[in-house]
Amino acid sequence: MSFHKVPRRSALLVMALALAVPNLGAAQDDPKMGGTLKISHSTRIATLNVLSLSGPAEYPVIDMAYSGLTRIGPDSQPMPDLAESWEGSADATEFTFHLREGVTFHDGTPATASDVVATYEAILNPDIPASAASVLNMIDTVEAVDDLTVKFSLKTPFADFPTSTAHANARIMSEEALAGDHAMLDTVVNGTGPFKMESYDSARITRLVRNDDYFIEGKPYLDAVEMHLFPDLAAETTNFLSGDIDVMLLVQQADYERISSAPGVNALRVPSGRYVNVVMRFDQEPFNDLRVREALAYAIDRQLLVDLVLEGLGRPAHDNILSPEFKFRIDTPEKNYDPERAKALLAEAGHPDGLKLDLVASNRPAIRAQVAIAIKQMALPAGFDINVETMPHDTYLANVWRKGGFYMAYWGMQPTEDATFNLLLTSNASYEDTGWMNDEFDALVQACRSTTIESERADAYTKAQELMLAELPYIIAFYEDVLTASREHVQGYTLNPINRYFYLESVWLDE
């Protein structure tokens, strides 16, 4: 029972390996065919409805069973999936996708342009709950030019469109399934992906088997993939270490060291743009005052937060919502822990005796409350008297989420700058929750949509970030790494930092 410090050196090595894996991919050595890959996960696969699912363990299943028009590759760029190529008009308002020939759904029916049209019409239908709708709402019309060509017309120019079509909840379903009872989509899967559903038991095991007609010749290598549910993290870790399981989908920071140092295990640490953000409403006291927001920003020791809450498995952030993985991310000035400066800012803002505040955190996942409690402790010397109020997730969703004035949010990484800003920060962002509503920022983000010229986009995104850092809509203290682990005989397993794409068709077992 002694104090373990995370050994940085070995972790970095693993990181390097993680980055190298995509290149090794399938090609190196001769992949062996066959075998069953067992993956453990700790959250239920509650639904298989591609349109609306959002569970961490649900994404790998639909990534195996379905294909999108495009897909985000290990390099975070859009890559061909059901569409083998695409082109956009010069003004970025029209996009044409060319589908692969001879692709069939798992039930044998051919996958054609009309299925793509039906899928996108379902996503855009306001009567159908669809998570991808907010990312694809710039679509004006979608039409099948012929059996293998689909043309999208957009309401506004949008240069990143092929990234949007890779949205994890925008996979192509069959026209027939969409015309039927949508309740069936929850349990019945008919996709074009590398694996087809064999059995689905949301309480224990979901099993997929090889799709022999997959459109990439020779893939997948595995005969079957099983998803095993362990709702208790301790149980999941122990079972993985005992060798019963090949891949542990998500590793907790607290267990990472123990897992990575176990024999026969490859722990994978992928730097990601995942973050916990402190939401401060611009239209309520006291955060309507920039100086109060800045005071809080200087009252947080970001490196200590990474060490304590993430066990060192992340990087300190300085309130930029874009992590270093983003192409147009600017060098962000560091905010060092400075309680004196925070105190002075508070006094300037009219709170010389400090501020008493209630900070709300959902109790799921635990990281939200942990960050809140750490912030409370760190901000004490600066004069912030923060009372952390933790509550069950359902209560939080119903009463606080997008309503409260001061609370903890938690987001995964988005594929593009545009998707990130339009998720939260622009005035008409899908989940706008600060009341910032800055016209200049909106215009800059909009400007980037209509141009494909790199320098113009870099310029506008730079200005947008500078504006954001100056106005400080969120406090973002760190970027959290994505952690996963596999047994040594598992080859070609890799993760994308967005953590929505798993490339399991390229995995094989060296046994």
Partner 1 sequence: MTLGYLVRRLLAVILVLFVVTFAVFAITMILPGNAAVMILGEYGTEEAVAAMERRLGLDRPWYVQYLDWIGGILRGDLGQSLRLSLPVADVVGDAFWNSASLAVTALVSVTVIAIPLGVLAAIKRGTVADLIIGVFSYIGASMPEFVTATLLLIFLAGPALGLFPAGGFVSPGESLGGFTSHVVLPAATLGLILTAHISRQVRSEMSEVLSSDYIRAARLKGLRERRVIRRHALPNSLAPAVAVISLDIGYLLGGIIVVEEIFAWPGLGRLLIYALENRDLPVIQAITLVLATVYALSNLLSDIVIAILDPRVRYA
Partner 2 sequence: MPKAFRTATGTTGLGLLLLVMGAATLGPLLAPYDPQAFHPAARLQGPSAAHWLGTDQFGRDLLSRLLNGAPSTVYFGLGATLLGVGAGSMIGVIAGTAGGWLDSVIMRILDGLLAVPELLFTLLIVTFLGGGMGQAMLAVAIAFTPGMARIARSSVLSIRTREYVLAAVARGERSHYIVLREVLPNAVGPIIVEATIRVAFAIMIGATLGFLGLGAQPPSTEWGLMVAEARQFMFRNAWTVAVPGVAIAMAAMGFNLFGDALRDSLDPRRSR
Q: Which is nearer to partner 2, 255 or 480 (CB)?
A: 255
Q: Which amino acid is at 141?
A: T
Which one of residues 98, 100, 364, 463 is an interface residue with partner 2 (CB under 8 A)? 364
The verdict on 232 binding partner 1 (CB under 8 A) reads yes
The verdict on 409 binding partner 1 (CB under 8 A) reads yes
Q: What angle do CA 51, 54, 56 make, to 5 degrees?
A: 135
Among partner 1, partner 2, none, residue 377 binds (CB under 5-8 Å by kind): partner 2
**What sections of 380-451 are H helices per DSSP?**
393-399, 417-424, 439-449
Among partner 2, partner 1, none, residue 453 binds (CB under 5-8 Å by kind): none
Beta carbons of 45 and 61 less than 8 angstroms apart: yes
Which one of residues 85, 377, 427, 428 is an interface residue with partner 2 (CB under 8 A)? 377
The DSSP call for residue 332 is: P
Please give the Cα distance from 448 to 459 (Å, whole number): 9
Beta carbons of 25 and 506 less than 8 angstroms apart: yes
Q: Which amino acid is at 449?
A: R
Among positions 294-353, residues that touch partner 2 (CB under 8 A) are 304, 307-308
The verdict on 430 binding partner 1 (CB under 8 A) reads yes
CB of 296 to partner 2, least distance (A): 18
The verdict on 239 binding partner 1 (CB under 8 A) reads yes
Among partner 2, partner 1, none, residue 391 binds (CB under 5-8 Å by kind): partner 2
The verdict on 44 binding partner 2 (CB under 8 A) reads no
Please give the Cα distance from 317 to 371 (Å, whole number): 13
Q: Which of 274, 224, 79 is nearest to 166 (CA)?
A: 79
SS3 18: helix
Near partner 1 by CB under 8 A, which window of 75-83, 113-121, 151-159, 199-207?
199-207
Near partner 2 by CB under 8 A, which window of 76-84, 190-198, 252-260, 458-466?
252-260
Which one of residues 131, 163, 164, 266 is an interface residue with partner 1 (CB under 8 A)? 131
Near partner 2 by CB under 8 A, which window of 159-167, 371-379, 468-476, 496-504?
371-379
Please give the Cα distance from 75 to 366 (Å, whole number): 30
Q: Which of 62, 104, 52 is nearest to 82 (CA)?
A: 104
Please give the Cα distance from 238 to 152 (Å, whole number): 49
The verdict on 276 binding partner 2 (CB under 8 A) reads no
Q: Within 10 Å of residue 233's Cβ, how many Cβ atoms?
A: 15
Q: Which amino acid is at 229?
A: L
Which one of residues 3, 30, 183, 263 is an interface residue with partner 1 (CB under 8 A)? 183
Which one of residues 242, 353, 455, 470 is an interface residue with partner 1 (CB under 8 A)? 242
**What sections of 261-416 are H helices per DSSP?**
290-298, 302-309, 339-348, 367-379, 393-399
Near partner 2 by CB under 8 A, which window of 2-10, 320-328, 444-452, 492-500?
2-10
The verdict on 465 binding partner 2 (CB under 8 A) reads no
Please give the Cα distance from 194 to 208 (Å, whole number): 9
Among positions 207-236, residues that touch partner 2 (CB under 8 A) are 233-234
Near partner 2 by CB under 8 A, which window of 9-17, 361-369, 431-439, 478-486?
361-369
The site for partner 1, by CB under 8 A, has a size of 50
Query: Which two three-digit tokens encode residue 476?
Result: 């973002």
Which one of residues 401, 451, 462, 471 is an interface residue with partner 1 (CB under 8 A)? 401
Q: Tokens 């980055």 map to which residue?
A: 19
CB of 269 to partner 2, least distance (A): 18
CB of 15 to partner 2, least distance (A): 22
Beta carbons of 177 and 130 less than 8 angstroms apart: no
Q: Which is nearer to partner 2, 109 or 239 (CB)?
A: 239
Among partner 1, partner 2, none, residue 397 binds (CB under 5-8 Å by kind): partner 1
Near partner 1 by CB under 8 A, which window of 321-329, 335-343, 392-400, 472-480?
392-400
Q: Which is nearer to partner 1, 218 or 243 (CB)?
A: 243
The verdict on 390 binding partner 2 (CB under 8 A) reads yes
Category of 415 on φ-ψ map: left (φ > 0), alpha (ψ -120 to 50) or beta: alpha
The verdict on 199 binding partner 1 (CB under 8 A) reads no
Output 74-81 pairs: Cβ under 8 A, ≥24 positions apart: 74/21, 74/22, 74/25, 74/494, 74/496, 74/501, 74/503, 75/22, 76/325, 76/415, 76/496, 76/497, 76/498, 78/162, 78/163, 78/165, 78/166, 81/166
Q: Which amino acid is at 226?
A: E
Phi, psi for residue 507 in degrees, rounded to 5: -85, 140
Q: Which is nearer to partner 1, 25 or 412 (CB)?
A: 412
Among partner 1, partner 2, none, residue 369 binds (CB under 5-8 Å by kind): partner 2
Name the site residues for partner 2 (rule: CB under 8 A).
1-4, 233-234, 252, 254-255, 258, 304, 307-308, 361, 363-364, 366, 369-370, 373-374, 376-377, 388-392, 395
Name the site residues for partner 1 (rule: CB under 8 A).
44, 46-47, 49, 52, 54, 126-131, 133-134, 182-183, 186-187, 201-204, 228-232, 234-239, 241-242, 244, 258, 392-395, 397-399, 401, 409-411, 430-431
